Chains A and B, each alone.
Chain A
Amino acid sequence: MSKSLNSIFIPALGGVALLLGAAYGLSSRDYGRDQIDMLQDRVAQVEGQAATARSEAEAEAAKSAELAAAGSDLEARVAELEAAVASARSSGGSMTQGAPQPDTKTGLGRTALPEEIAAWDVDVRPGGIGLPEGRGDAYTGEEVFAENCAICHGDFAEGVDNWPVLAGGFDTLADKDPVKTVGSYWPYLSTVWDYVNRSMPFGAAQTLEPDDVYAITAYILYSNDLVDDDFELSHENFAEFEMYNKDGFIVDDRAETEYPIWRTEPCMENCKDSVEITMHASVLDVTPEEEGADQGAAMPEATHDDAAAEPTSEEPAAETAVAALDPELVAKGEKVFKKCSACHQVGDSAKNKTGPALNGIIGQTFGSVDGFKYSKVFRAAAEEGRVWDAAEMAEFLTKPKAYMKGTRMSFAGLKKPADIDAVTAYLQSFGG
């Protein structure tokens, strides 16, 4: 044991070892083995933390060496040491030694090619820095928006369901529930262009041409009544456009407005005369319910309506069809389906989302999923009694907008026939 003590402390802590060596000598007389072990552990922790505070620890050790003569003081000394080490440690320190910053370049990696940088470096900044050349007006934008964006954001950018509202909300920012739209809140037009170009449409990002992005951006401004419908946005006039809320932001001022107030010694006793409950979460009743009775943890205030809200549809017919499918193809189709899953669900709990739920779609009449609001072209197909089979699905998925002109599905299509076969098999595995 003394060997381990020495080997741990003397090389590592210098002055501290003096104290600890003395302490150990006393401990072995007056203290039980367990206590010594425990202290060793504690001291080992101190040692671990000491790397960034060695000098402070040494000073502390030297100061307290004489006090340590009394064995009963040992725990107190260790505690003090710990405190000293803790307070001396620089913020952001860690238990490990920092990795060496190489003095010279390692030569790892390779030079990025101009084509590669051009492909990825597409961010657009305030003032239109980074914009490609192009143009589009609000009138054109209305069409492009209807085709690519309206299914979630609404024809007038008013937002469908929980999807973001892009228009309106002016002068509501100081109200109780501010409506933060592109028009009412966004400080820079570049953010709109940049975001639409890179991240939209949802599920088909980076498929829009620059002119389309200019047109969509112009239409969003139009839907906010910030421009007329003949307004054309281009790389030439982009920098001139000022957003409604451009002056509505300040840089984080917590260091001035909050920290001085809250960096004070807190109250411990008689801090208030009385305390009343002013609001119960159970009144609002918006906590998600637990499903199934076999969950171990009790949710004491679990709500009790909608108990039958999750029916699972297991159609016997589905199982026979599943048996004939190639499992490998189905597995491949599951991967392909990820491209669809931004809008479509399959499986037991599938619901209509942006697009209809697709259980049993093969073999079903076009436009017949319960509760889904179809476009005109699908309603017409339903009346004609057209039925989805593998061939129809293949044609549709190759070029959705060409095959069903007017569909709101903003998906460019699957290029590889093998992907279409796979995703069709996957859909069939959910019945049909």
Chain B
Amino acid sequence: MDDDLKSTTRRAFLRGSAAAVAGTAAGAAAAGPDPLITELQDWASATGEGVDATPYGLPIEFEGDVIRRNVPWLTADPISSINFTPIHALDGTITPQGCAFERHHSGAIELRKDDYRLMINGLVDTPLVFSYADLERFPRENHVYFCECAANTGMEWAGAQLNGVQFTHGMIHNMEYTGVPLSTLLAEAGLDTAGDLADKWVYVEGADASSNGRSIPMEKALDDCLVAFKANGEALRKEHGYPVRLVVPGWEGNMWVKWMRRIEVMDGPVESREETSKYTDVLENGVARKWTWVMDAKSVITSPSPQSPITHGPGPMIISGLAWSGHGQITRVDVSKDGGMTWETARLGKQGDSKALTRFYLDTEWNGEDMLLQARAMDETGYVQPTKAQLREVRGENSIYHNNCIQTWYVNAQGIAENVEVS
């Protein structure tokens, strides 16, 4: 089959129907009565599905393209790989679990609550083992946090590479977690033995074959880390660490150890594979930064974007996107339509969450002009999201992780968007 023809046809169809809708919205006269209105439709006459047709509901079939996708050439095998959240098709800030990106190092394991054990050992007064049921008896909290893989946007360091915001920025999700503060569990085991906590660490590992161990400084462990067992109100999904994962707010996703089975209090970091050979950032001179845990402020326009082209005619248009910062709250997002020459400040959606996604909107007009769309986030520390050129000036082009540069989409007169780099 000629794919080119196929996609052109599909686009033409989208554009045609969109133009009709746009015409209506702009108050233009209809060409004739709309049969969807004038003719009796099946759904208005016959009955629909009864309750219990799907005891656990899935999105309606028409939303079948709102799914995670991966980039097969990135990794050797999907068992140790990553996929991407379809952020081009979502709105608001909460990511549904079913389409929240996955990253496994030895596959997503199935661990029953009954088989779950969490051990705390090392420099504690009493080494302890908790069952899942034990965890549910500690006072718990709810928090919304983003989880971003340090490699998000990593393929874009050397240049514009992937044509879709799902692929360039989709290693992120944002959920409401329910869990017990890590500090509560550490206090239960007792930290007197650890002495001065200033130079102490906790080492956390998972129950899967990769174990994905990471060392976390005690200060962070006692600050806001959460031992979570629910996300968005329901049990964690298998792919996100059912039944228990660690939440490390604002810090790189690799530290959010899934299927967490052990916490060890230590007097130094383990320097595990995931914190030495991986998740370190080679600078231009070949020296690498380690312990780059915080995810700096970042934003991206999710629509329009390559997977979400403009399908309507001239007139009102919403530019929408996401912003986040591992340092706290997003205070402002600016949007440029001309590749960064001029900026206007966008309207923020629900605010107040720290280390969580913030939605932004620019309610604007589009009349078929070419655009070079960019978004630029600011956080509560006054940090302004840098351009790719600014990042490269400090770090060179050899890094993989922590690329929080300003993204550019080129939108042409047909409303089609493409990932580009600009001067």
By a beta-carbon cutoff of 8 Å, the part of chain A in contact with chain B is 45, 48-49, 86-87, 89, 91-96, 98-102, 105-106, 108-112, 116-117, 120-121, 123-126, 152, 161-163, 173-178, 180, 182, 185-188, 190-191, 194-195, 198-199, 202-203, 205-206, 248-254, 257-259, 261-264, 266-282, 284, 286-289, 293-304, 307, 338, 341-342, 353-354
A286:B161 contact, CB within 8 angstroms:
yes
B213:A173 contact, CB within 8 angstroms:
no
A252:B289 contact, CB within 8 angstroms:
yes
Bound-state CA distance A28–B306 (Å) is: 49
Could you list 22 A-B pairs, sorted by A, with CB under 8 Å? A91-B329, A94-B143, A99-B138, A102-B188, A112-B119, A120-B262, A173-B288, A178-B398, A187-B276, A252-B293, A252-B294, A262-B390, A272-B339, A274-B341, A277-B421, A281-B160, A281-B161, A281-B419, A282-B163, A282-B418, A288-B69, A294-B64
B139:A125 contact, CB within 8 angstroms:
no
1/0 contact trace for B134-158 toward A, CB 8 Å? Answer: 1001111111100000000000000
A162:B6 contact, CB within 8 angstroms:
no
Nearest residue (CB) in B for A257 is B394
Further contacts, 7 of them, CB under 8 A, given A86-B351, A102-B187, A117-B127: A102-B138, A112-B129, A162-B77, A173-B287, A188-B276, A300-B417, A304-B3
B139:A100 contact, CB within 8 angstroms:
yes
B65:A296 contact, CB within 8 angstroms:
yes
Bound-state CA distance A204–B183 (Å) is: 34
Closest 10 CB pairs of A and B: A174-B286, A275-B339, A173-B286, A99-B139, A162-B76, A281-B419, A205-B209, A304-B3, A112-B127, A279-B421
B329:A86 contact, CB within 8 angstroms:
yes
- In the assembled complex, B355 has its CB within 8 A of some CB on chain A: yes
A254:B284 contact, CB within 8 angstroms:
no
- In the assembled complex, B314 has its CB within 8 A of some CB on chain A: no
B80:A202 contact, CB within 8 angstroms:
yes
Pick from A123, A266, A294: contact of B378, CB under 8 Å: A266
A307:B421 contact, CB within 8 angstroms:
no
A191:B277 contact, CB within 8 angstroms:
yes
Bound-state CA distance A300–B311 (Å) is: 12
Nearest residue (CB) in B for A303 is B3
Contacting residues, chain B, for A276 (C-beta < 8 A) = 422-423
Pick from A96, A185, A353: contact of B77, CB under 8 Å: A353
Pick from A98, A110, A263: contact of B383, CB under 8 Å: A263
Bound-state CA distance A182–B278 (Å) is: 11
Bound-state CA distance A307–B7 (Å) is: 13
Pick from B130, B144, B270, B340: contact of A271, CB under 8 Å: B340
Nearest residue (CB) in B for A287 is B163
B372:A205 contact, CB within 8 angstroms:
no
Measured CB to CB, the closest approach of chain A to B203, in angstroms, equals 6
Bound-state CA distance A213–B413 (Å) is: 61
Measured CB to CB, the closest approach of chain A to B82, in angstroms, equals 13
B7:A302 contact, CB within 8 angstroms:
yes
Contacting residues, chain A, for B88 (C-beta < 8 A) = 297
Pick from B126, B331, B344, B383: contact of A259, CB under 8 Å: B383
A248 touching B286 in the complex, CB below 8 Å, given contacts A117-B121, A296-B64: yes
B421:A278 contact, CB within 8 angstroms:
yes
Bound-state CA distance A300–B8 (Å) is: 8
A126 touching B183 in the complex, CB below 8 Å, given contacts A287-B162, A288-B167, A341-B79: no
1/0 contact trace for B4-38 toward A, CB 8 Å? Answer: 10110011001000000000000000000000000
Nearest residue (CB) in A for B250 is A92
Bound-state CA distance A308–B12 (Å) is: 24
Bound-state CA distance A195–B309 (Å) is: 45
- In the assembled complex, B354 has its CB within 8 A of some CB on chain A: yes
Measured CB to CB, the closest approach of chain A to B263, in angstroms, equals 11
A262:B383 contact, CB within 8 angstroms:
yes
Contacting residues, chain B, for A307 (C-beta < 8 A) = 1-3
A281:B163 contact, CB within 8 angstroms:
yes
- In the assembled complex, B318 has its CB within 8 A of some CB on chain A: no
A251:B127 contact, CB within 8 angstroms:
no
B137:A106 contact, CB within 8 angstroms:
yes
Contacting residues, chain A, for B72 (C-beta < 8 A) = 288
Contacting residues, chain B, for A293 (C-beta < 8 A) = 1, 6, 10
Contacting residues, chain A, for B355 (C-beta < 8 A) = 92
Contacting residues, chain A, for B137 (C-beta < 8 A) = 106, 108
By a beta-carbon cutoff of 8 Å, the part of chain B in contact with chain A is 1-4, 6-7, 10-11, 14, 62-65, 69-73, 75-77, 79-80, 88-89, 105-107, 119-122, 126-131, 134, 137-144, 159-164, 167, 180-181, 183-184, 187-188, 190, 203, 205, 209-211, 213, 223-224, 249, 261-262, 264, 266, 268-273, 276-277, 280, 282, 284-294, 296, 306-309, 327-329, 331, 334, 338-344, 351-355, 372, 376, 378, 380-386, 390, 394, 397-398, 410, 416-423
A176:B160 contact, CB within 8 angstroms:
no
Measured CB to CB, the closest approach of chain B to A89, in angstroms, equals 7
Bound-state CA distance A93–B224 (Å) is: 10
Nearest residue (CB) in B for A160 is B76
B422:A278 contact, CB within 8 angstroms:
yes
Nearest residue (CB) in A for B382 is A263
Contacting residues, chain B, for A105 (C-beta < 8 A) = 187-188, 190
A195:B167 contact, CB within 8 angstroms:
no
B384:A263 contact, CB within 8 angstroms:
yes
B354:A92 contact, CB within 8 angstroms:
yes
A101:B161 contact, CB within 8 angstroms:
no
Q: In the complex, which of the residues A259, A266, A295 has the most CB atoms of chain B within 10 Å of its own CB atom?
A: A266
A267:B343 contact, CB within 8 angstroms:
yes
A268:B343 contact, CB within 8 angstroms:
yes
Pick from B76, B129, B131, B141: contact of A94, CB under 8 Å: B141
Nearest residue (CB) in A for B74 is A162
B162:A281 contact, CB within 8 angstroms:
yes
Measured CB to CB, the closest approach of chain B to A103, in angstroms, equals 10
Bound-state CA distance A354–B78 (Å) is: 12
B268:A109 contact, CB within 8 angstroms:
no
Contacting residues, chain B, for A286 (C-beta < 8 A) = 71, 73, 161-162
A188:B271 contact, CB within 8 angstroms:
yes
Pick from B6, B188, B261, B376: contact of A266, CB under 8 Å: B376
Contacting residues, chain B, for A304 (C-beta < 8 A) = 2-4, 7
Measured CB to CB, the closest approach of chain B to A81, in angstroms, equals 13
Bound-state CA distance A116–B331 (Å) is: 48
Pick from B7, B205, B381: contact of A299, CB under 8 Å: B7
Contacting residues, chain B, for A86 (C-beta < 8 A) = 329, 331, 351-352
B383:A194 contact, CB within 8 angstroms:
no
A185:B340 contact, CB within 8 angstroms:
no
B2:A199 contact, CB within 8 angstroms:
no
Nearest residue (CB) in B for A353 is B77
Contacting residues, chain B, for A250 (C-beta < 8 A) = 287-290
Pick from A199, A266, A274, A354: contact of B384, CB under 8 Å: A266
Contacting residues, chain B, for A299 (C-beta < 8 A) = 7, 163-164, 306-307
Bound-state CA distance A121–B175 (Å) is: 31
Pick from A106, A116, A271: contact of B138, CB under 8 Å: A106
A264 touching B384 in the complex, CB below 8 Å, given contacts A92-B249, A106-B137, A295-B64: yes
A301:B211 contact, CB within 8 angstroms:
no
Nearest residue (CB) in B for A306 is B3
Contacting residues, chain B, for A271 (C-beta < 8 A) = 340-343
Contacting residues, chain A, for B269 (C-beta < 8 A) = 125
Bound-state CA distance A302–B309 (Å) is: 13
Bound-state CA distance A87–B331 (Å) is: 9
Nearest residue (CB) in B for A91 is B328
A248:B287 contact, CB within 8 angstroms:
yes
Contacting residues, chain B, for A116 (C-beta < 8 A) = 119, 129
Measured CB to CB, the closest approach of chain B to A385, in angstroms, equals 32
Bound-state CA distance A206–B385 (Å) is: 43
A300 touching B306 in the complex, CB below 8 Å, given contacts A94-B353, A173-B286, A185-B277: yes
